Amino acid sequence: MKKRGPIIGISGLVLVIVSLLIIVSVFPTSSFTDGDFYAPSMFEGMFNQISEKISITPGGLGYYSYSAKSYDIPLLWGVQILDYRDGDNLSISISNIYGDDYGVFPQDGPIIFEMLEITTSDTLNFEIQNHGSRMVDVVVMISEDPDNSNGLSNPNSPFMNKILPLAISGILLILGIIVLIVGIVLYFIDWKNIQNNKRNF
């Protein structure tokens, strides 16, 4: 029986395993199982400002303000729920000191990132409401003009040291799955041909 199917399939499986090992080396499983994954550490050097931990009771509000130093630039903001659990639910309302509304953003996952266009130097007020049933701790992250931030421009930044391996891992994972599927298909094609040949004899 031809062995091309199993050989190709095993090669694909090896690629998948290698990609998973890369992910585990960049993000140890304890970072997720222990609930201590901290986004600002991953994106270190990318943010102009990171808030202290903000504790918000069920139904309560938390507040954070940021004064933008530039204008006509994109502003990236994010909110992470520390020690996230199913059922945690926030809404983030953003306005400026003049009462202009930048929108309300729902959050039902551990982290949210959104982009705003800042046309003038402005002070942004973040009003974070906790719609869940337990107290949550959150951090707010702000980056002005993130494309030119130190986190992206410095090849040795913690952010780049994680993104490049993850990109390689993603490519290997996709390639591995494709190769694995091809191997399985070839195996069944060869097996079917052998069965047909046996019937002919």
Q: How far is CA 16 from CA 75, 169, 177, 183, in A?
A: 36, 9, 7, 13
Say what the pLDDT of residue 199 is. Answer: 66
The residue type found at 31 is S
Any residues with CB less than 8 A from the CB of 107 and at least 6 apart, and which? Answer: 79, 81, 89, 90, 91, 92
- Distances in Å between the Cα of 55 and the Cα atoms of 19, 33, 83 are 37, 22, 12
Check residue 27 and give its pLDDT: 64
Two tokens, residue 43: 């994106």
Burial category of 44 from C-beta neighbours within 10 Å (exposed 0-12, middle 13-18, buried 19 and up): middle
Q: What is the pLDDT of residue 159?
A: 61
Return averaged pLDDT per consecutive 10 residues of the chain, 201 residues in all: 77 89 69 54 74 94 88 86 91 88 91 85 90 94 74 58 78 91 86 72 57
Pair of tokens at residue 193: 């041909």
Residue with tokens 């909110």: 79
Give the span between the Cα atoms of 84 and 186, in whole angstroms: 44
Predicted TM-score (pTM) of the model is 0.61
Query: DSSP class of residue 134?
Result: S
Report H helices in the chain. Answer: 4-26, 30-33, 39-42, 150-153, 158-200
Take residue 24 and report the two structure tokens written for it. 């585990």
When computed from its CA atoms, the radius of gyration of the chain, rounded to whole angstroms, is 24
